[in-house]
Amino acid sequence: MHNCFVSVVGVLDTREDLAFLTEYLSNLYGVLKGNFSDFEIILVDNTGGQSVSNKIEPLDAALKQHVFLLTLSSPVNKNHAIVAGLDRSNGDYTVIFEFDFFQKPELLLALFEESTKGNDIVYLKAKTRQSNLRFRLFYKLFYWILRNYSSLKVDDRAHDSRIISRRALNSLLRLRENLRYMKAIYSIVGYRTTSLEVDVPLQHDGTGFGEKFSTSLVAITSFTTFLRSLLLWIFMGSIGFMMLVIANALKVKLTNVDIFGDQHDAVPGWTFLVVLTSIFFAITCLVLYIMSIYLANIYQEIKHRPMYIIESVKRF
């Protein structure tokens, strides 16, 4: 029996989750009751009006006294629903436990045991990801951008299920961003993090491609320098294009032959117009790049992210 208080957060996101709710709670209760001195199960109802209370009422009174149901007024992004549960958590450790693992409640114990080895965040890692070709290509591009244009350490096979120590959770809750991508925020918070590999694959959660794309844009614009770097490459490309066009215009004017070897008649004023247009095109790209730097700096400032997070203070 572990002498600590554990909070378990579960998000009800679909009707399929609701169908497994009774078994989910019963399995968790069996593990928590036999291994922890105190615990609570926080359910976040993000289904938009499903009868969750009716599913809980018939359960044993000993189980129900540990259950807290948070019903959201309207469905929100799953990341926001998770934060609603984390805000309510009171435990020494908080476990985000997905309904995908309702038949494997022993994984909760495995997460806790790994956290006792000095790890503040331990997450479940899938061996594979199951999705169609379009989503596989999308995920590869998305995580490539995260790896190459940010300092984030985001695991592309990480499940949402994880255990978080009290001090790591306190730091995480200080990041009150409205546009949230939780895996990136876990990385920003830092602390000692590790994973446990599980056989349950990452599967498509039913979210449409449009919503996935919107979420990826939030992550890319909030946590990477990709778009600013892209504007820089556009500017450099415009400089190269300008020099090529100017060289071609001058060659036609002087020799009546372009850079491809084709014969042309020099038209009065054409060279000046091409050169002027090319220069203004390059200047426009330069201005856009400079503006992107200022906007990126402003965007970073208004988020009010903490400049640092102290892991511990020791006196001798």
169 versus 256: which is more confidently predicted? 169
- Domain spanning 2-133+152-207, CATH class: alpha beta
User: How remote is the C-alpha of 312 from its chain's centroid?
Assistant: 26
Task: Tell me the DSSP string of 224-292.
Answer: --HHHHHHHHHHHHHHHHHHHHHHHHHHHHHHSB-TTS-B-PPPTTHHHHHHHHHHHHHHHHHHHHHHH
The pLDDT tens digits for 26-51 are: 888 888 888 888 888 888 888 876 67
- CB neighbour class for 82 (10 Å; exposed up to 12, middle 13-18, buried from 19): buried
Q: Which pLDDT score, from 0 to 100, does residue 163 have?
A: 92
User: How remote is the C-alpha of 233 from its chain's centroid?
Assistant: 26
Q: Report the phi/psi class of residue 178: left, alpha or beta, with left for phi > 0 and alpha for psi in -120 to 50.
A: alpha
Q: CA end-to-end span of the chain, whole Å? A: 33
pLDDT above 50 (res 311):
no
163-184 burial code (b ≥16 CB/10 A, e <16): bbbbbbbebbeebebebbbbbb
* Strand ranges (E), 61-107: 67-71, 93-96
Q: Where are the domains of the chain?
A: 2-133+152-207, 226-302
235 versus 86: which is more confidently predicted? 86
Q: How many Å apart are CA 236 and CA 230, to the nearest integer?
A: 10
Q: How many Å apart are CA 197 and CA 190, to the nearest integer?
A: 20
The pLDDT tens digits for 203-238 are: 766 666 677 777 777 777 777 778 778 777 877 887
